Structure 1
Amino acid sequence: MLVGDHPVKPLEGVLPLRDIKQRKADTLACLNGLSVGDAFGQLFFRTPFSRNGEPPAGPWRWTDDTAMGLSVVENLFAFNTIDCDDLARRFARRYGAEPSRGYGGGAHDILGGIAAGRPWRDEASEAFGGEGSMGNGGAMRAAPIGIFLAHDLDGAAAAARRASMVTHFHPEGQVGAVAVALAAAFAFRARGQGKPNPGAFLEAVTTRLPQSEVRRGLEKARGLSADSSVETLVTALGNGSRVMAQDTVPAALWVSSHFLDDYEEALWRTVALGGDMDTNAAIVGGVVAAYTGIAGIPNIWLTRREPLPPLDETNL
């Protein structure tokens, strides 16, 4: 078993009502960090700009990373954890409304099948010749889970696994999501205590993961210093160019760990790696915003990012 189906501690009874409201606000800040990162990274496929120049005019269009992140947050707020059936319906509904948000080929097949009425478990488990997807799509949307359930690390890990398995049935795809959720949880827990040591931060995540390529990549990441070259990082950790969790998560969390207190610097370091820049930046943006809060996101980036739609917290 990858991660046990740990019974999540409900927010009610654990946090006072005022703190539940604040936790939701912090989760939305994380979602904004994810989404601004997504839209920022996407720019570099079309209109890259210099760090010293004026950022392109808005709106900066967000992609499937944000679309699926929205559904995850809605699901969390509706159930206080992840309900797979509801989440699958939300994914399929958003996909059906806007299939041009940059979804990958596997996602088109899986979400199209769910939208047509097939069970999500059948669609996800039968993908890629019955192996399931090991792509980075589960990881790209996982940071808000970590911050929302930061009071319960085992519950956060289990919820991240469930949120990923709706589309990513391969264990590597699920471990990638768990790693990102845990990173966001640890980042949130570190608020007000000073930026964690990068190696200790990565170790805290790694020790909670099962043996996997993602874990081995993060173990490599712990040994790479802040002045490592782009070439060294990409060679050792990947940059998402293979669109796999194990090719994406180690580099994204290396950047997050070293620049956890500087959203702007973290995003520039991320796009310098190339590869799957929108997804890399979505992961980094979500994790870093879990530490900095909404104030850490440059206001000009936030206002130029395409607005997010209102959340639907009803049970579907």
Structure 2
Amino acid sequence: MGSRPDRDRERPSDLSGRFLGALLGLAVGDALGTTVEFQTPGRFEPVVDMVGGGPFRLAPGQWTDDTSMALCLAESLIEDGFQPESQMKRYLRWYREGYLSSTGRCFDIGVTVREALEAFESAGNPVAGSTDPRKAGNGSLMRLAPLPLFLYQDPATAIHLAGESSRVTHGATTAVDACRFFSGLLIGALKGYGKEDLLAPVFSPIDGYYQAHPLCAEIATIAQGSFKRKQPPEIRGTGYVVESLEAALWAFDRAESFEDTVLLAVNLGHDADTTAAIAGQLAGAYYGVEAIPSRWRDRLAMREVIERLAWDLYRRGLEDHDLAFWGQNTEREPD
């Protein structure tokens, strides 16, 4: 869709920086946003740096459930391919044991995620996400980046399985379609599409994809560019996935750097860490890791773990994956 990507931006060394940027950008946005998580915009001093604190009294650079779940997803994909049960086992280990937490314990978890994990724990069905539209939270979108990184070579499968990755904890159509649309945006950013193309109406890295596999009305409205016609307080960084996605794209559209993107997202308040984690995925994939201020990268908790997983995703992302060996729930939508 739109003009072809700039192939110079797809050189292997630059591409690896985009992979690193997507995962580190998620964590940086999360760590910045936790400072004002749950606060109403206008009732706090604007965030300009990574200072920690917030409702969980974190040290600068520590992050919350957004990053923990993303790292669990990354590890699952690298070790097992796309396996919903593997994903849920890791999420459950994080919930019960603090696995891949910046503090060693699970201190922040959304209600919808917790309910899905407890349902999986008791019944064993990994596709445990509620389909209730009133539970269309942003908990699957916030962790998404590892999946399109892993499936970089196969955009159609990346878009389809992004939706399937949501269903394990968030089965509402809006949550599923937010992940599908955002996965395509991340693939486009990795491939070097310009911002004008990425934010054009209903961007897809595959021509005609959403004509064949339509988005629900709420996500289609965002894909058409609703965020371009709004300003706060119409733009709201809440826990509702529709508003989260719109807010993240609003920040990405208006900013001209990674730093400005995530700070715009953070200062919307409310679910600030997640809005910034979503925006950070896209801005990191678009601008690359070197655009993330070094002072933030240097403070980031478990940076080595995040970078190792990003490098593993990069290596795996350049492979062709045989879905025949991936087990259940991986049937690909036709192109």
Fold shared per TM-score above 0.5? yes
Name the CA shift for 1:36/1:111 in 2 (closer, same or farther; >3 Å): same
Of 212, 217, 237, 1:239 maps to 237
TM superposition shift of 1:114:
2.5
How far the C-alpha of 1:120 sits from its partner, in A, is 2.2
User: Post-superposition shift, 1:268?
Assistant: 1.4
Which residue identity lines up with residue 196 of structure 2 in the other structure? N
Change (3 A) 1:82 1:59: same
Q: Give 1:119's match in structure 2, choosing from 90, 114, 125.
A: 125
Contact 1:198–1:222, Cα closer than 8 Å, also in 2: no
CA contact (8 A) 1:262 1:296 kept: yes
Matched-pair contact (CA < 8 Å) for 1:27–1:148? no
Cα displacement (A) at 1:298 = 0.9
Q: 8 Å contact 2:145–2:281 — kept in the other structure?
A: yes
Deviation at 1:83, TM superposition (A): 1.6
Q: Distance in 2 between matches of 1:116 and 1:308?
A: 34
Provide structure 1 residue ranges, at least 5 long, that are not aligned to the other structure. 1-17
Q: Aligned partners of 2:77 and 2:155: how far apart in 1?
A: 15
Partner of 1:178: 180
Q: Which has the higher contact order (CA 8 A, sep 6+)?
A: 2
Aligned in 2, Cα 1:24/1:145: closer, same or farther, shift over 3 Å? Answer: farther
Instruction: Supply the distance in 2 between the matched residues of 1:60 and 1:49 (Cα, whole angstroms).
Output: 19
Shift of residue 24 of structure 1? Answer: 7.0
Could you say which residue in structure 2 is the equivalent of 1:267?
262
**Structure 2 unaligned runs (5+)?**
1-10, 53-58, 99-104, 313-325, 327-335
SS in 2 for 1:274: coil
Shift of 1:299: 1.1
1:221 aligns with 2:226: yes
Query: After superposition, where does 1:37-186 map in structure 2 within 5 Å?
Result: 37-45=29-37, 50=46, 55-56=50-51, 58-79=59-80, 81-98=81-98, 100-116=106-122, 118-121=124-127, 123-125=128-130, 128=132, 133-186=135-188
TM-score, normalization: structure 2? 0.72
Residue aligning to 1:10: none
Q: Distance in 2 between matches of 1:90 and 1:306?
A: 19
Secondary structure of 1:141's aligned partner: coil
Tell me the secondary structure at the aligned position of residue 109 of structure 2.
Answer: coil
Match of 2:282 in 1: 287
**1:15-59: CA deviation from partner (whole Å, max 9, x where unpaired):** xxx96x99777534321110110111111239966566x642743
CA contact (8 A) 1:134 1:245 kept: yes
1:305 alignment partner in structure 2: 300
Give percent identity, aligned residues only. 24
8 Å contact from structure 2 (residues 141, 278) kept in 1: yes
RMSD: 3.2
What corresponds to 1:35 in structure 2?
Answer: 27
Counterpart code for 1:286: Q
Cα deviation for residue 158 of structure 1 reads: 1.3
State the one-letter code of the partner of 1:239.
G
Going from structure 1 to structure 2, the CA distance change for 1:50 and 1:246 (only over 3 Å counts) comes to closer
Deviation digits for residues 260-294 of structure 1, max 9, x if unmatched?
Answer: x5110001111232221111000000111111221
**Secondary structure of 2:85's aligned partner:** helix
Contact 2:47–2:267 under 8 Å retained in 1: no
Letter in structure 1 aligned against 2:246: P
**Matched residue SS, 1:167:** coil
Amino acid across the alignment from 2:125 = P
